[in-house]
Amino acid sequence: MQPITTTKKLADACAGMARHPFVTVDTEFLRESTYYPRLCVAQMASSEEALVIDALAEGIDFAPFFALMANENVIKVFHAARQDIEICWHEAGIIPSQLAYAISDVTHLRDVYLKLSADLEKRGRTEWMREEMKVLTSPATYRFEPEHAWERLKTRVRKPKELAVLIEVATWREREAQERDVPRGRVLKDDVIGDIAVQAPITIERLAALRSLPRGFERSKWGEAIVEAVRRGLACDPKTLPRLERPKPPLNGQATVELLKVLLRMTAERHGVAAKVIATVDDLDRIAADDHADVPALSGWRRELFGNKALALKQGRLSLAIEKGRVVALERE
C-alpha cells in the first residue's frame, strides 16, 4: 500500500471518491504536545477502493480533501467522529506510520455503514441519526471561545468572587494555550486554577504560597499575568456573572434515580440502544431533581423513547413491575 504524496494524485483520488454516494473516513493524529491536533495520515474508502494520504508529504496541498469533506452530495462516514472532523479545522503534521492498520479502519467502516444504514432505515430511525449529526456538523462544536473555558472545569466554586476569578484565570490559560499551541495543562493544570479561584492571590508573594503551583512558577512571565487575571476577577460586578445552576435535591432523590436506572436499562434492552447513548447518570440525577432539566434525555428522540416515561415514572403515572422475569412499565389510570 503506497500512500498518496502529491497534490495531483490527491486531487484525482478525491474526484474519484466524489462520484460515490458515500465515503468512509478516518484520521490518525497526535495532540499530546500541542493545543490543536496534528494530522498524521488520512484514510478514505469508497465501495470500490481504499487509500491513505500522507499528510506530511513535502508540498502536498490538502485542499482537494477538504473540498470533498465539504461536498454535501457525498455522505462522510466516521467512527467516533468528533476529533476526525476537528482535523478539518486545523491543518498540521506528524510523520505517519502503520498504513496497513490505518486502511483497515475505513474498509471495515465501509461494511459497517452499509449494515447500520439499512438497519436504521428498517427500524425507522434515520431521523434519529440526522438529529445526532446536527451537533457534529455544527461549527459551534469545534469553535471554543476562551471566555467559556471555565465551564469545562470540574472545580466547584461557591462564592461569586471565586467564580469571577475562575472565569478570568481559565480565560487567560485558554488564550495562552491557543497562542502557543500547547496543551492547556502545559500552561496551568486544572487543580491549580481551582486553588487560585479560592485563594485569589493578588500579589506574586501570595501566588508563590500556593502549594499546588510548581516551585518558581510565580517568577515566570506567567506569574504576573495570573495575578492580573485574579485582580480582574475580583473587580467584576457580581451581577454580570453567569448563574450557577444548583439543582435542588428531590425529596426521595436516590430512590428516584435508582428507579430511573431500571427504566433506562429496560428501555435500552427493548429498543437495542446503548443505555449511555439514551441518558447518562448525570441526566438521571438532574431529571430526578427537575422535570424541566436541560438534558439530552428530555429532548428529541431520546424524550420520545425514554424521557416522557421517566417523567411519568417520577410523577407516579407509570409503575414498574415484573412479568415473566422481565421488567415492564405499566401506565396508571
CATH code of the domain containing 26 = 3.30.420.10
Residue 166 lies in a domain: yes
Predicted pLDDT of residue 250: 55
Q: CA-CA distance, 202 to 218, in Å (whole number)?
A: 12
- The domain boundary, picked from 108, 141, 174, lies at 141
Q: Is residue 211 part of a domain?
A: yes
Same domain, 113 and 85: yes
Specify the pLDDT at position 122.
Answer: 86
Which positions of the chain have pLDDT values less than 70? 1, 80-96, 98-107, 245-253, 333
What is the predicted pLDDT for the residue at 333?
61
- Whether residues 233 and 268 share a domain: the answer is no
Structural domain including 292 reads: 253-331
Q: For residue 182, is it within any domain?
A: yes
Beta strands in the chain (DSSP E): 22-30, 38-45, 50-54, 75-77, 318-323, 326-331
User: Global pTM?
Assistant: 0.57
- Are 104 and 195 in the same domain? no
Confirm whether 2 is domain-assigned: no
CA–CA gap between residue 7 and residue 9 (Å, rounded): 6
Q: What is the dihedral angle through the alpha carbons of 189, 190, 194, 197, rounded to the nearest 10 degrees?
A: 70
Q: Is 136 found in the same domain as 79?
A: yes
Q: Is residue 183 part of a domain?
A: yes
Mutual angle of helices 221-234 and 190-199, in 10-degree steps: 50
